[in-house]
Amino acid sequence: MKESVRKIFHASAYEHAKEAEELLKRKWSIQYPSAVECLTEDTESCLTYREYPYRHWLRIRTTNVVERSFKEVKRRVKGIGRFQNEERSLTMV
C-alpha cells in the first residue's frame, strides 16, 4: 500500500496522480476500506503544491510536526513488524 500512496504524491503530473489515486482505490479498498477513505479524502488539497514552482515543492509538501508524528509511528511499527488486521494497526496509531 505504501508504494501505491507514494505513486500519488510523486507522480510527474497532476493527471498521473489522479490515475494513481484511482488505482489505489481499486487495489486496496476491499482489504483496507477506512484507510483508503482516509488517504483519498483530501487528495485535492494535498496536491495543491503543484501550483507552485517545482523548486518550492519539497518545502511545501513537508512539515516537521507531521514528519515527527510519522517517525514515531514508524519506530513503533518497526518493532511489531506486521499487523494482523487494519483494526490493530489503527489502535496502535
Each domain of the chain, given as residue ranges in start order, spans 1-54, 63-93
Would you say residue 67 has pLDDT above 80? no
Task: Give the CA distances from residue 30 to residues 70, 79, 80, in Å, rounded to whole numbers and listed in that order.
Answer: 25, 27, 24
pLDDT at 24 over 70: yes
Q: What pLDDT score was predicted for residue 68?
A: 72
H helical segments located in 1-93: 2-9, 14-28, 33-40, 43-46, 57-61, 64-80, 86-92
Q: The whole model's pTM is what?
A: 0.57
